[in-house]
Structure 1
Amino acid sequence: MASMFATQDASNIANENPVNLWIRLKFEERLDKTMKYYTSKMVIVQIIVACGFSISELSCGINYSNQCPMEPAINTFLVAHGATKFAWIFLTILAIADARLIYKKMNRKSLARRLMLINLVFQSLFAVWFFSWFIAGNIWVFRNKNRYQSNDPTNTSTYCYGDLYQAASLLISMEYVGFIITFIGTVKRRFISRRLKHAMNNKVKHEIMA
């Protein structure tokens, strides 16, 4: 049975349009690299950091509810942003399970690629939603920076509980720092990977020529 499917697959590849075959193989190569990424330690670190941010945002947003009459949307931002992050964490855990179990351990690569593609579509949608809330949070928090005060609760046009406002400002600032660190780490990793690949290719060429 297995040999029959293998023969069928080989026949399909042989009959496939060369351009379509090249596109499919490149697409599968990208998904395979994604699988490798989701088996790395960096993803685990990102989940742990994201959990810390998410718990902090939800805690501040819920515990300090209705304590920022100056800008009530700050509480909404913290709760929605923290909940969205938890949704991303859930999707990331599913991606890790797909890469480690279905792709690597069970060796069902075709199924794993399809599941990963679906996961990436949902992650992209959540990324757009997450980014939208992050921009909105920046506006709601920092546009009130110069007029916010935490001493007179009776002046509702400028009052916001100090711990809430400072926590929201700090969390947004730390998000920027985390993004910069992740971006630098990703660029560095890809640069080193390309350099190593280039060095290995040169080594192989020299050995063949020798």
Structure 2
Amino acid sequence: MNTSTIFPSSDYNDVIVDTPTIPSKREQRLDKAINYFSSVMFAIQVILAAVFSGIELHYGIDYLNQCPIQPWINIFLIVHGSTKLAWVLLGIVSFFNGRVIYNMMNKKTLARSIIILILPLQLLFAVWFLAWFIVGNVWVFSCKSRVQYTDPTSTSTYCQQTLYSAAYGLIISTYIVVGIVAILTVKRRVIGKTIRQRISS
């Protein structure tokens, strides 16, 4: 009896085992960046930045040339608001890349290629915001002890009160928001590390 008719032969060499691909360390770092830019915390930062950008542009443009004691306050608000708006657009692209291209469409290679282009821009914006924010602090706080709001003819000390108060308040608010975000980020990482240690143990 031909046993091959009863028991079909099977060539184990032809069996293809679909083994999961382990991402490299570089890909893992890119994946972490993608996950961060697609997180709820980052989305909140983008929303807050959009709100701050609108406020800065509003006061910087509407009260142009109304602060002779320090005319650069208007420039600070306009430039800071404009570049922050550009960062918001980049943030939306970053969020879309993580949520849609990486997660929903599962095109991880494409998402990683996009984040490679995004990361240098994010770094450039971060350096610019820090430098410009420091300069803005100098312009606003340096004239705090001399500024007055009642006599526009005294150009050496006058600044429109709403404009100066807005610039001052925006700087203080930025410090508060950055502090809160920093605390939440550290807390999130500590909690995540604790969870991973419990799972591994």
TM-score interval w.r.t. the shorter chain?
Answer: 0.7 to 0.9
Distance, in Å, in 2 between the alignment partners of 1:120 and 1:62 is 31
- Higher mean alpha-carbon deviation, 43-52 vs 154-163, is at 43-52
CA distance in 2, matches of 1:30, 1:164: 43
Mapped pair 1:34 → 2:33: yes
Equivalent in the alignment of 2:66: 67
Q: CA deviation at 1:45?
A: 1.3
Of the two, which has the highest radius of gyration? 2
User: Shift in Å at residue 39 of structure 1?
Assistant: 2.5
Letter in 1 for 2:192: S
The one-letter code matched in structure 2 to 1:199 is R
TM-score (norm 1): 0.83
Separation (CA, whole Å) in 2 of partners of 1:112 and 1:47: 20
User: What is the match of residue 139 of structure 1?
Assistant: 138
Which protein has the bigger helix share?
1
Q: Does 1:130 align with 2:129?
A: yes
**Alignment correspondent of 1:83:** 82
Is the 2:80–2:129 contact (alpha carbons within 8 Å) kept by the matching residues of 1? yes
AA in 2 matched with 1:198: Q
2:52 corresponding residue in structure 1: 53
CA distance in 1, matches of 2:86, 2:126: 10
Give the superposition deviation at 1:35: 1.7
Which letter does structure 2 place at the counterpart of 1:94?
A: V
Query: Following superposition, which runs of at least 4 residues in structure 1 exceed 6 angstroms of deviation?
Result: none
The code of the aligned residue for 1:132 comes to: A
Supply the AA of the counterpart residue of 1:165.
Y
Aligned residues: 182
Letter in 2 for 1:169: Y
Q: Secondary structure at the match of 2:35?
A: helix
In structure 1, the gaps of 5 or more residues are 1-6, 14-23, 203-210
Q: How far 1:170 moved relative to its partner?
A: 0.3
The letter of the residue matching 1:138 is: N
Tell me the equivalent position of 1:98.
Answer: 97
> 3-state SS of the aligned residue for 1:152?
coil
- Across the aligned residues of Structure 1 and Structure 2, the Cα RMSD in angstroms comes to 1.6
Q: For residues 82-123 of structure 1, give each alpha carbon's deviation from its aligned partner in whole angstroms, at most 9, with x where no partner exists.
A: 111111111110011111222112222112111111111111
Q: Cα deviation per residue 1:46-86 (whole Å; 9 max; x = unaligned)?
A: 12111111111000000000000110000000000011111
Tell whether the 8 Å contact from 2:76 to 2:136 is kept in structure 1 after alignment: yes
Which amino acid letter does the alignment assign opposite residue 54 of structure 1? Answer: S
Of 188-197 and 109-118, deviating more is 109-118
Unaligned runs of 5+ in 2: 1-17
Q: What do the CA deviations read for 1:130-165 (whole angstroms, capped 9, x no partner)?
A: 111101100000000100111111110000001100
Identical counterparts, % of pairs: 48
Aligned residue in 2 for 1:191: 190
